[in-house]
Amino acid sequence: MAQVLEFKLPDLGEGLTEAEIVRWLVEIGDVVAIDQPVVEVETAKAMVEVPCPYGGVVTARFGEEGTELPVGAPLITVAVGERAPSGGGAEEDRTESSGNVLVGYGTSEAPARRRRARQEPVAGAAPATAVNGRAGVPEAEDGPLPVISPLVRRLARQNGLDLRELTGSGPDGLILRADVEYALRAAPRPAETAAPAPRPAATVAPGEIRTPLKGMRGAVADKLSRSRREIPDATCWVDADATELMRARTAMNTAGGPKISLLALLARICTAALARFPELNSTVDAQAREVVQFDHVHLGFAAQTDRGLVAPVVRDAHARDAESLSAEFARLTEAGRAGTLTPGELTGGTFTLNNYGVFGVDGSTPIINHPEAAMLGVGRIVPKPWVHGGELAVRQVVQLSLTFDHRVCDGGTAGGFLRYVADCAEQPAVLLRTL
């Protein structure tokens, strides 16, 4: 006799309390394998595919696409077997589960050797058939696909590609991104997206449109409001001649090897400055009335995506060289644009670097990324008249700004930090003293 187990929306980590259902990946009556993704949800941090820790037949789904569910609310129910004799006469446990759902993204590593359960028929459900000799995994069109990466699913979906037409080149037929890209090159298709159309905002009066502050936009609004409400911030700024910094980057990139990004060089300067002025690499514990200073730099950086502004975090940025920083910035930026950043990659920063120069602006007074204590802003680098060596010349000039929590330090510390950053931009050799 089948036993019905309820799977609730798991804790997605980092204080997230709700998620919006974007797309169901299974229908009622589908047979699902252990750890198979069953629904795609959007949190305030990222798009997440949620896997079910049970293997069996889906008997119910809770919530339509576009519905917000709180953590702990029922998500689906799955009918699994209890106990039945195995082929050799021994009993086999059929109420299986991987035991855990990874906080924020996917599941924990399942045991290397896991017995698959034979499922008893459930009224109204299609019977499971064997695939590659494995019981409990359907062979029908609606069955689970050998795809793990949500990026691969999204790439296929956006280009109208049916993954069931592909043969994966990965282990056990796993469909990789390279397989999708090869199929798209071989048979170009018009770009499509299966993402649900945004719900229209409610118009309450002629010429007035109201859009709910929810999801990522709502989370950003809440965080910025809290920052301005709780942090007594101040901003100082300085213009710097970045000509030598740009020349140094050009020289590094013509010497061969991986390309070094400007953001990586700025991050390297930033971590060196924080080593000299550690007061800015901190947070305020308001309840204890203490300043908590960190001995590591988890560097956040602002990245604009189709879903809004996100701030991925480079872990242990102080221990990375320019090449490693360039690679990590590129990886996190691509994941942000694909919507696959995990909550763990979006939180835990101790200081933020904001290169708003990419938007073609010279200066800004950024709002601190609560609960951090400071943010360095970098404007565009453009040719401007500048006195160099006692003569007027055209130089590559950048405006740097530092917004800081006045509780952690005074203007002398903030000014010293910013001046050091400017000195490194003007004379990159200054940075060698701290290596």
Q: How do beta strands 313-314 and 351-354 pair?
A: unpaired
- Collect all residues with Cβ–Cβ distance below 8 Å to 182 and sequence separation of at least 6: none
Among this protein's residues, is 388 annotated catalytic? no
Alpha carbon of residue 140 to chain centroid: 33
Torsion of CA 366, 370, 372, 373, to 10 degrees: 60
Rounded distance between C-alpha atoms, residue 189 and residue 186, angstroms: 10
Q: What are phi and psi of 20, to 5 degrees?
A: -105, 130
Element (H, E) at 58: strand 56-61
Closest CA to 80 of 37, 115, 113, 39: 115
DSSP 392: E
Rounded distance between C-alpha atoms, residue 137 and residue 127, angstroms: 10
Rounded distance between C-alpha atoms, residue 411 and residue 235, angstroms: 9
Contact 401, 364 (CB under 8 A): yes
- Collect all residues with Cβ–Cβ distance below 8 Å to 56 and sequence separation of at least 6: 2, 5, 31, 32, 78, 79, 80, 81, 117, 119
**Which residues are catalytically annotated?**
406
